[in-house]
Amino acid sequence: MTWEMVVGASVFAAMLRLAAPIALAALGGTMTERSGVTNIALEGSMLVGCFFGVVAADRTHNVWIALAVALLAGMALAALHAYASITLRADQIVSGMALNILALGLTTYLDYQMYGTTGTPADLAAVPDLHLTFLNGIPYVGEAIADQNSIVWASLLLVVALQVFLFRTVLGLRWRAVGEHPRAAETVGVDVRRIRYAAVLASGALAALGGAYLSLGVVHSFTDGMTGGRGFIGLAAMIFGRWTPLGALAASLIFGYGNALSTSLQGATVGDTKLPVQLLGTLPYILTILAVAGFVGRSRAPAADGVPYETEGHA
């Protein structure tokens, strides 16, 4: 094991690359849970965004349309969840699980029907990397950030934007009120339903962007189930990040770092023993458990999170 393997610039670059989809999912989760709805179908939204982005890129050869389609797909799945959770007041966990299964089944099914055994085409319209050539001379930092995908930068911007939105705007204030005490918000005239619908749809779009990043930004193809649980890591990052966008980013970076380490330390040894790099994969999950159990600071979700809201039965 070398120092380079742990804090080298390439590790830092990998951290950013790996953190981006997690952060996007975490942002989505933060937005819905802040409004009081639990959406564990982020994985599903991410996957459909991943897949339908590829399909659209294949058919239209236009990366912008592909991205739009990806976002719409994610939002469509989220809309089902919104309808079930908000209007039907069904159990949000069961609905979320159902949608995750649906997303996986659906995308795998369509992948088979459309691309059979040959796989997705190799020349897909892709989301370009952002080459910051002016950083090329700078040691470390240059190598780390000079060639990240545009979506990575977009997600950083989104983190900032959503942080400002939640904590510095009127709508953000109402959003948070709805997640903490919807009845109190309703009595002062805030439209609980509308905000919650918007929140769930937004989460679908954000997660889908993360998915599109994976398929159109990184590997330029689609394989079944390629989101590989990143939606759930995003949920973990949201919890670990205390339900704030900045926290979600920080958590995603930590988790991304762990992920990057597990690759860079592949086969590394300390003395004679091989490092158990596979265990690094447990990092996000163990940290999250510690956080929710209160061992890592005080963690408090929005008070009305996950509880279906019933308007008072007045005449």
Partner 1 sequence: MTVSPPIVEMRGIVKVFGDLVALDRVDLVVQEREIHALIGENGAGKSTLMNVLYGLYRPDAGTIALRGQEVRLRSPRDAIARGIGMIHQHFMLIPPLTVAENVVLGDERSGPMLSEGALAARVRDLEERFHITVDPTAKVEDIPLGLQQRVEILKVLYRGSDLLIFDEPTAVLTPQEVDELFVIVRKLRDEGKTVIFITHKLREVFAVTDRITVLRDGRNAGELETTSTNASEIARLMVGRDLKRPAARTPVPSSGPALEIRGLQAKSDRGAQALKGIDLTVNAGEILGIAGVGGNGQSELAECILGLREPTAGTILVGGADVAHDDPKRTRERGVAYVPEDRRAEGLVLAFSVADNFILGRQDTPPFSKRGVLDTDAIRANGDRLAKEFDVRPPNAGAIVGNLSGGNQQKVVLGRELTAQPKLIVVNQPTRGLDIGSTEYVWERLLEERARGSGVLLISSELDEIRALADRIAVMFEGRLVATLPAADAAEEQLGLLMAGHAEAASA
Partner 2 sequence: MTQLQEPATTGPGAERPAPSVRQLTFQFAAGPAIPVLSVVIALVLGAIFVLFSGNDPLRAYAALVQGAFGTPYDITETIVSAIPLVLTGLAVAVAFRTGLFNIGAQGQLLVGALGAGWAGAQFASLPGFLLMPIVIVFGIGGGALYGGIVGLLKAVRGVNEVITTIMLNYTIVFVIHWLLQAGPMTAQNAFGTPASTPIGAGARLPVIIPNELVLFSRLHAGLFLAALAVAFFWFLLWHTPLGYRLRAVGLGARAAAQAGIDPARHMILVMAIAGGFAGLGGMIEVSGVFGRVYDGFSSSYGFDAIAVALLGKNSPLGIVFAALLFGAFVHGGAYMQSHAGISSNLVAIIQAFVLFVIAAESLVRSLTRRRGARKPMEAIA
What's the rounded Cα separation, in Å, for the pair 302 and 280?
30
- Contact track, partner 2, 252-291, x by CB under 8 A: ----------------------x-xxxxxxx-xxx-xx--
Return the structure tokens found at 155: 């997600």
Cα–Cα distances (Å) from 101 to 7, 107, 115, 262, in that order, read: 38, 10, 21, 28
Interface with partner 2 includes 1 (CB under 8 A)?
no
Give the residue with the Cβ less far from partner 2, 23 or 239.
239
Return the structure tokens found at 254: 């930590």
Interface with partner 2 includes 301 (CB under 8 A)?
yes
Closest CA to 46 of 93, 78, 80: 78
CA atoms within 13 A on the CB side of 312: 8
- Per CB under 8 A, which of residues 100..139 are in contact with partner 1? none
Closest CA to 40 of 305, 310, 315: 305
Interface with partner 2 includes 163 (CB under 8 A)?
no
Interface with partner 2 includes 56 (CB under 8 A)?
no
Report which secondary-structure segment, H or E, holds 270: strand 269-270
* Contacted by 172, from partner 2, partner 1, none: CB < 5 to 8 Å by type: partner 1
* Contacted by 108, from partner 2, partner 1, none: CB < 5 to 8 Å by type: partner 2
- Per CB under 8 A, which of residues 272..301 are in contact with partner 1? 300
Contacts with partner 1 by CB under 8 A: the residue count is 23
**Binding-site member from 7, 94, 160, 164 for partner 2 (CB under 8 A):** 94
- Per CB under 8 A, which of residues 26..45 are in contact with partner 2? 33, 38, 40
What's the rounded Cα separation, in Å, for the pair 138 and 186?
54
DSSP 3-state of 43: helix
Min CB(15)–partner 1 separation in Å:
31
Min CB(243)–partner 1 separation in Å:
11
**Site stretch for partner 2 (CB under 8 A), options 51-59, 106-114, 127-135, 214-222:** 106-114
Return the structure tokens found at 309: 């809201």
What's the rounded Cα separation, in Å, for the pair 195 and 191?
6
Contact 155, 13 (CB under 8 A): no
Cα–Cα distances (Å) from 296 to 5, 152, 268, 286, in that order, read: 27, 28, 30, 11
Min CB(29)–partner 2 separation in Å:
9
Place of tokens 């704030």: 244
Interface with partner 1 includes 58 (CB under 8 A)?
no
Give the residue with the Cβ less far from partner 2, 187 or 282.
282
**Binding-site member from 93, 126, 130, 135 for partner 2 (CB under 8 A):** 93
* Contacted by 169, from partner 2, partner 1, none: CB < 5 to 8 Å by type: partner 1
Burial class (CB in 10 A: 0-12, 13-18, 19+), 119: exposed
**Binding-site member from 87, 136, 169, 266 for partner 1 (CB under 8 A):** 169
**Site stretch for partner 1 (CB under 8 A), options 173-181, 196-204, 209-217, 289-297:** 173-181
Helices assigned H by DSSP within 218-278: 230-240, 245-264
- Per CB under 8 A, which of residues 194..233 are in contact with partner 2? 229, 232-233
Contact 127, 216 (CB under 8 A): yes
Binding site for partner 2 (CB under 8 A): 33, 38, 40, 80, 84, 88-95, 97-102, 104-106, 108-113, 229, 232-233, 235-236, 239, 274, 276-282, 284-286, 288-289, 292-294, 298-303, 305-307, 313
